[in-house]
Structure 1
């Protein structure tokens, strides 16, 4: 269901993630799913959804280059909450053609090549995952990077047909996320405790250095303003 920004509830940092989820699910007016990368933020949202809307579908994108620790977390989440996870994969022929033509690490050669790899492995599968939905839930937070500092808790996602994008943790700090995670003892990706605040594909993610922002370890060879894969176009 397409909406306009003016029709959305006005939410602020005084609203809890649960309140944002409830408002978003109501505003969507149709089916909504959580896009889960098994980051600490996404698992926090799964835990919150057990209170707010436990039947909310969950999907994940398997790019073919995820860390083993991410798969371990996915299994721990599935077992802890008894949830079903819909996995989406890139089109086999597109991956094969990319690697035949440009090798295994073309994404490090240019921004254009990196976006091509992300488009094949992440953006196209996301489009299939969102087909038929009225909205989707993400773990994005304003504090994460310069590309997200204007994030709103509810947004119209023009890049995906005008559906609703629900960001229940938009106003939360990293400290708030971790306080919740530890209090609730949720499954947490082991890489987070090894200096990886943001975790993507294994070849494109490293630990951050002291003083760096949370997404500095993603595509570390690029400028900060470019560090999005295309899933969250603004």
Structure 2
């Protein structure tokens, strides 16, 4: 696997990752500003890379709006994956609509049903997947590498082209290219997930402080990016 550093651009990391994967690769898109930046970069690097998204059933309207704007801007098909109906129905019938706020165990159960299981289906048959992870985002991500073997998903390659970029660099690119941006980002939401699990951050808080804000920082991952 090639050694990539801060000196390498996201385009270089993407090209290296696509070559190293040696097979089909797709972008997991949550329609964050990072993910839309990567879609824009892929127009230069490789337009054939598939884009998929997870519809948890609890997304913000603003997320759907930017998804449509992205689809129209780039003329791309977005492969949506949903959680299994039976699992969601069983969860909500047995524990109600907000069980994820009652305990870490319950929150992980909800994420497992709504995110992790659909992701597993989305990654079937792939040699690699692309994410918008950045080291600067949180304490749970400060050791990520541009290219990683994803043991949680059979050892496929995980490509993180924005690993070394700061939030300022992401926004500079987004504004220079005038890409579609989720309206919530400009309302104090640097990180956007499911609507009931996301709030705006306060001055001085880290970027993911608004995700599952009732939990400790070291727990603030849904399981999509297990290490």
Which category describes the TM-score, using the shorter chain as reference length? over 0.9
Q: Where does residue 223 of structure 2 map in the other structure?
A: 230
| Deviation (angstroms), 1:55 | 1.0
Instruction: Tell me the equivalent position of 1:18.
Output: 11
DSSP-derived class of the 1:77 partner: helix
Unaligned runs of 5+ in 2: none
CA separation in 2, counterparts of 1:83 and 1:227?
31
Determine which of 68, 73, 81 is the counterpart of 1:75: 68
Map Cα deviations across residues 48-78 of structure 1 (whole Å, 9 max, x no partner).
Answer: 0000001100000000000000000000000
> Structure 1 residue 105: deviation in Å?
0.1
What is the distance in 2 between the residues matched to 1:225 and 1:33?
Answer: 28
Query: Could you tell me the TM-score, scaled by structure 1's length?
Result: 0.97
Structure 1, unpaired ranges of 5+: 1-7
Runs of 4+ off more than 4 Å: none
**1:167 counterpart (136, 145, 160):** 160
Alignment partner, residue 179 of structure 2: 186
Q: CA RMSD in A?
A: 0.2
Q: TM-score, normalised by structure 2?
A: 1.00
Q: Hey, what's the Cα distance between the residues in 1 that align with 2:76 and 2:135?
A: 28
Pick the aligned partner of 1:205 from 187, 194, 198.
198
Mapped to 2, the partners of 1:168 and 1:128 lie a distance apart of 23
SS at structure 1 position matched to 2:23: coil
Residue 87 of structure 2: SS of its match in structure 1? helix
> Are 2:114 and 1:121 aligned?
yes
Listed as ranges, the matches of 1:103-122 within 5 Å are: 103-122=96-115
| 1:151 maps onto 2:144 in alignment | yes
Q: Distance in 2 between matches of 1:227 and 1:13?
A: 25
Q: Distance in 2 between matches of 1:44 and 1:60?
A: 15
- Which of 203, 211, 224 does residue 218 from structure 1 map onto? 211
Residues paired across the two proteins, number: 227
